[in-house]
């Protein structure tokens, strides 16, 4: 077994999930994630945790949802399992990232509603999501399997403690600041962040961070105005989108266009009251991620990118008792900070041409 698989498992169990003796761990395993699951099982044994492995397959989900009449009962065993768990580790990795492409959205929505309590119970655990490099993910990234594996481990096997220190600088700038301005090709947008608390998302539940890899600092902006162009190509709801351009006035998106996928962006904006507002401003700081691979788990953390999400904001960014932007959607869009770009906090340049001032 590739030694990096063991290192990945150790990072997941120790740094990310902080597993202790006696912890009850649910390990969700994708159909092609077996090798990482075995390495994680070994680490969980070493730590003295219990283990229940579940099988997460798009093909199984598709078969079940499509055959069902849509009147879903609550999946009681799933809820009970999560309620009894301390930690949920999800290892993605299948054979086809489009496996559920022909599941009608009504069926997805109806199932999600029936499984809401189970989902909440999972969110109440120390959960962490990661992926095992697979041929299917390599294909989505347009890369050979071998190169994609290197890419994943470069992103995952960071010196997370060191990165946490660097990201803390960014967090403090945002916490102490009132206004953020992002300038890039086709972008000049300002937003308020005063009173909000940035999250140092360094891939550990100890930092309220639930993705491995992570490497972003994010907060919940408001009073957004200006224009922004998201030049990083993505797949959103199964549709390729490219060069999305949004115009904000008084916090609300008042105009949108896109070189590709404009209809999907329109649908998202029309979802509800909160879907025209930003729920998140995120600063990518993981320099182990050196390219866009059409996978949000990686893309939004790439060093030298900035992302903004339409829709729901995170409670972790808000003062106790305050409610932020509410919406049923949360769609991240990314801009790559190139030559001539600037990220300013209260007029002070924090990042120029894609490089932080301390780099």
4 binds a copy of itself (CB under 8 A): no
Q: Which of 4, 43, 277, 301 binds a copy of itself (CB under 8 A)?
A: 43
Separation of alpha carbons 294 and 75, rounded Å: 31
* Binding span for a copy of itself by CB under 8 A among 70-78, 163-171, 204-212, 223-231: 70-78
68 binds a copy of itself (CB under 8 A): yes
45 binds a copy of itself (CB under 8 A): yes
77 binds a copy of itself (CB under 8 A): yes
38 binds a copy of itself (CB under 8 A): yes
Q: Output the smallest distance, CB 69 to a copy of itself, in A.
A: 6
Q: Output the smallest distance, CB 24 to a copy of itself, in A.
A: 5
78 binds a copy of itself (CB under 8 A): yes
* Binding span for a copy of itself by CB under 8 A among 53-61, 201-209, 222-230, 234-242: 53-61
CA 194 → CA 92, 220, 265, distances in Å? 36, 10, 28
Q: What is the DSSP string of 272-286?
A: SGGGGSEEEEEEE-B
Q: Which of 10, 14, 42, 243 binds a copy of itself (CB under 8 A)?
A: 42
Buried b or exposed e, range 137-166, using 16+ CB within 10 angstroms: bbebbebeeeebbebbbbbbebebeebbeb
Q: Which of 39, 131, 224, 297 binds a copy of itself (CB under 8 A)?
A: 39
* Residues paired with residue 349 on neighbouring β-strands, in sequence order: 344
Separation of alpha carbons 279 and 45, rounded Å: 39
Separation of alpha carbons 300 and 213, rounded Å: 10
Least Cα distance to 329 among 291, 275, 283 occurs for: 275
* Residues paired with residue 206 on neighbouring β-strands, in sequence order: none
289 binds a copy of itself (CB under 8 A): no
Separation of alpha carbons 136 and 192, rounded Å: 40
34 binds a copy of itself (CB under 8 A): yes
Q: Output the smallest distance, CB 134 to a copy of itself, in A.
A: 14
Q: Which of 5, 12, 13, 65 binds a copy of itself (CB under 8 A)?
A: 65
Least Cα distance to 208 among 100, 283, 313, 128 occurs for: 128
Using CB atoms within 10 Å of the CB of residue 104, give its burial: 0 to 12 exposed, 13 to 18 middle, 19+ buried. Answer: exposed
Q: Output the smallest distance, CB 85 to a copy of itself, in A.
A: 5
63 binds a copy of itself (CB under 8 A): yes
238 SS3 class: coil
102 touches 40 (CB < 8 A):
no
22 binds a copy of itself (CB under 8 A): yes
Q: Which of 57, 235, 239, 260 binds a copy of itself (CB under 8 A)?
A: 57
The DSSP letter of residue 341 is -
Between residue 85 and residue 114, which ones bind a copy of itself under the rule CB under 8 A?
Answer: 85
Q: Output the smallest distance, CB 211 to a copy of itself, in A.
A: 22
155 SS3 class: helix
123 binds a copy of itself (CB under 8 A): no
The total number of residues shown for the chain amounts to: 359
Nearer to a copy of itself, 81 or 182 (CB): 81
Separation of alpha carbons 139 and 287, rounded Å: 22
Q: Which of 55, 98, 108, 123 binds a copy of itself (CB under 8 A)?
A: 55
Nearer to a copy of itself, 88 or 345 (CB): 88
Q: Which of 7, 10, 18, 53 binds a copy of itself (CB under 8 A)?
A: 53
220 touches 313 (CB < 8 A):
yes
Q: Output the smallest distance, CB 297 to a copy of itself, in A.
A: 21
Which residues of the shown chain bind a copy of itself in the complex (CB under 8 A)? Answer: 22, 24, 26, 29, 31, 34, 37-39, 41-46, 48, 50-57, 59-61, 63-69, 71-85
């Amino acid at each position: 077994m590739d030694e990096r698989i063991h290192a990945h498992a150790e990072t997941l169990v120790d740094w990310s999930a902080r597993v202790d003796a006696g912890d009850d761990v649910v390990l969700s395993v994708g159909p092609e994630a077996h090798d990482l699951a075995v390495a994680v099982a070994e680490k969980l044994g070493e730590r003295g945790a219990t283990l229940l492995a579940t099988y997460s397959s798009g093909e199984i989900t598709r078969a079940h949802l499509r055959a069902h009449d849509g009147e879903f009962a609550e999946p009681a065993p799933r809820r009970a399992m999560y309620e009894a768990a301390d930690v949920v580790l999800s290892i993605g990795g299948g054979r086809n990232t489009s496996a559920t492409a022909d599941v009608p959205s009504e069926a997805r929505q109806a199932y999600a509603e029936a499984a809401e309590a189970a989902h909440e119970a999972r969110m109440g655990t120390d959960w962490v999501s990661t992926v095992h490099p697979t041929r299917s993910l390599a294909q989505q990234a347009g890369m050979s399997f071998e190169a994609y594996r290197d890419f994943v481990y470069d992103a995952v096997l960071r010196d997370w403690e060191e990165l946490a220190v660097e990201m803390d600088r960014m967090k403090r700038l945002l916490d102490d600041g009132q206004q953020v301005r992002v300038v890039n090709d086709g972008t000049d947008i300002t937003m308020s962040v005063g009173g909000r608390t940035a999250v140092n998302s360094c891939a550990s539940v100890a930092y309220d961070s639930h993705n491995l890899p992570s490497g972003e600092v994010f907060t919940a902006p408001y009073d957004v105005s200006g224009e922004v162009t998201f030049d990083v190509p993505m797949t959103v709801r199964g549709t390729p989108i490219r060069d999305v351009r949004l115009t904000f006035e008084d916090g609300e998106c008042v105009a949108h266009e896109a070189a590709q996928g404009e209809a999907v962006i329109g649908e998202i904006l029309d979802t509800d009251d909160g879907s025209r507002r930003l729920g998140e401003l995120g600063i990518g700081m993981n320099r182990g991620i050196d390219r866009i691979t059409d996978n949000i788990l990686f893309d939004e953390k790439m060093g030298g990118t900035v992302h903004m999400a339409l829709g729901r904001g995170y409670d972790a960014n808000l003062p106790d008792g305050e409610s932020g932007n509410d919406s049923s959607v949360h769609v991240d869009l990314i801009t790559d900070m190139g030559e001539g770009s600037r990220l300013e906090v209260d007029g002070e340049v924090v990042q120029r041409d894609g490089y932080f001032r301390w780099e």
